[in-house]
Amino acid sequence: MSDGGGDAPFIGHGLRRSGIPFVLSSPSGAGKTTIARALINHDSNLIMSVSATTRPPRPGEEPGRDYHFMSADEFDRVVAEDGFLERAEVFGNRYGTPRAPVEAALADGRDVLFDVDWQGARQLRQSGITTPVTVFILPPTRVELERRLRARAQDPVAVVEARMAKAAAEMSHYREYDYIVVNRNLEASVAVIQSIITAERHRLHHLADLAGFIGRVSGAAG
Ligand code: 5GP
C-alpha cells in the first residue's frame, strides 16, 4: 500500500488544497475500525477524528487513541460549550466529534477520517465544514457479520444481539452515502478506499487557488 499522502504533491508546486472530511460508516462488525487504522497508517496526510464517548473502554482500547472516554457530566459540559461538530446516541451511549481538532486540521489542508454512524454522517453534512465524502462499508454476508460480532468476545451476548438487530437499521441508510464498499477482504477494501481518497483529492472543488496556480504555470501571472 502506498503513502496516499503523496497525493499532496500539488502543495510543493504552489497549489493548495483544502482538507477533505472522509466519513466511514457501517453496521458494527463490518470491519470499519480495522480499515480505518490501515488507512491512517499508510497515509501521512490523513488523520483520524477521535470521538468522545460516554461508554466504558473495551479491553485494548486506549484513551485519546480510540476515544476520549468521558463521564455524562463531562460530555454535557462539551455540549454546552458547542464543542461537538455532531453527536448521537448509539446503543444507549453518547458519542460526539470534538470540533476544534477537525476545524484546525481541515484549515491546514489535512484530510480527516471520521468513524461515525449514519446520524453523524448526516449531521457532518450540515455542520458547516466542507461537505464530507461518505463511504459505507458492508459485510459480505449475514453469516459473516454474525461471526464477526460473536468473535468480539468482549461484548456481552445481549449486546451482540442488540448490535445484530441494529445492523439492519444502519444498513437501511445506504442511499445517503457516496460510495459503497463490500468488505470481503481487508487489503482489497483498503485499496478501494485509498483509490476513492486519491480521486477526491484531485476533484476541482477540493483544490484551492487553482486560478493562481494556472496563472503561474501559463505565465499569465506572477
Ligand atoms: P463502538 O461503541 O462500537 O465503538 O461504536 C458504536 C457506533 O458509534 C459505531 O457505528 C460508530 O461509528 C459510532 N460512533 C463512534 N463515534 C461516533 C461519533 O463521534 N459520532 C457518531 N454519530 N457516531 C459515532
pLDDT in tens, 52-102: 999 999 989 999 999 999 999 999 999 999 999 999 998 889 999 999 999
The C-alpha angle 148, 195, 137, rounded to 5 degrees, equals 25
From the DSSP assignment, how many helices (H) and strands (E) are in the chain? 9, 9
Residue whose Cα lies nearest atom 23 of ligand 1: it is 116
pLDDT value at position 216? 87
Distance CA 49, CA 90 (A): 18
pLDDT value at position 1? 42
Structural domain that includes position 167 = 10-50+110-209
pLDDT value at position 16? 79
Residues whose CB is less than 8 angstroms from the CB of residue 37 and which lie 6 or more positions away in sequence, other chains included: none
Domain membership flag for residue 38: yes
Domain membership flag for residue 196: yes
Domain membership flag for residue 77: no
Domain membership flag for residue 67: no
- DSSP code of residue 205: G
Residues of the chain with pLDDT under 70: 1-14, 152-155, 221-222
Q: Which residue has the cell 472543488?
A: 205
pLDDT value at position 213? 86
Domain membership flag for residue 25: yes
Domain membership flag for residue 64: no
Domain membership flag for residue 180: yes
Cell numbers for 18: 483544502
Q: Give yes or no for residue 155 CB within 6 A of ligand 1.
A: no
| Cα 160 to ligand 1 centre (Å) | 15
Number of domains the chain is built from: 1
pLDDT value at position 90? 86
Domain membership flag for residue 189: yes
